[in-house]
Amino acid sequence: MTNERDPRIFVNRWGDTSGPVLGRPGTRQDNCSCFDRSRPHPRARVGFHTEHQDTSAPGWQRLLEMIDEAAADQREEFRPLIELTPEERRQIITLPPGIARLTAVRHLVLYGSNLVRVPAEIGAMTSLEEITPYTSYRLHWFPYEITRCRKLTRSTVSTRALFGNRRIRPPFPRLQPSLNSVTNLDLGNLDPRRWGATAIHGCSVCDRPLEHSGLHQMWISLRVATDVLPLLVNACSAACVDTLPDGAHEYVPTPHKGGRVDQPASDWG
């Protein structure tokens, strides 16, 4: 029988993923003022983060090396940030498309990252069972392609930082009008202020190339693993938009263009 007087030991789940306290020298994250995470502002105006990834930065170069290593040894857990200095972590504002090669990874740990977006290629991580971007306070949305990770059943997300979250109902960025043709759009060199990403190549729904079709962006909030996430859909046609599921319970029930969309009342209290 266990002696009740003995001290209980708790496992620190994030002990090897944490870093310096924010606001002190060597901070690993930039500040984010997109919306107030402490109180509802459903009618405020928000937008996408506009930063472009500096691909010459030492942190980015090291991340590319770590993805090569992880793909080569078929590791099942990938915790890249713990091998970077705080300043190198701060240099990473997205993940490389090369994460598509991490088909053996079951747990992706991005605790305390400086990410502002995740690429659509995460959908190719078909073994992914758990994702942990906890305290990544600048990460407000995810690509719809994450729904292709059929084994994903566990997530740890700072939900108050998400667009449309049920606690404070911040708004969604207003999306661009739908295009029936992208002939005049450079899909590999986009303005993230307008499109949310710097490159869009395939349809989020059917995976066909967008070069000879259109671009219909929509927001939808769906339960992905443990959390309801705001997902950005880049569809090639209105027909693909029509195949999208209904939104999660207590969220906007249909795909929408963002802006001042009517959301259910916040359950903040």
Measure Cα distances from 261 to 4, 125, 139, 158, 176 in Å. Answer: 54, 32, 21, 23, 15
Residue 45: what pLDDT? 83
Q: CA-to-CA distance for 233 and 176, rounded, in angstroms?
A: 12
Query: What is the pLDDT, as a whole number, of residue 42?
Result: 64
How many angstroms separate the CA atoms of 104 and 70, rounded? Answer: 9
Q: Which residue has the tokens 């078909």?
A: 126
Residue with tokens 């994450």: 146
**Taking the CB of residue 22, how many other CB atoms lie within 10 A of it?**
13
DSSP classification of residue 24: S
pLDDT at residue 44 in the model: 73
Give pLDDT tens digits for 201-230: 999 999 999 988 999 999 999 999 999 999
SS3 250: coil
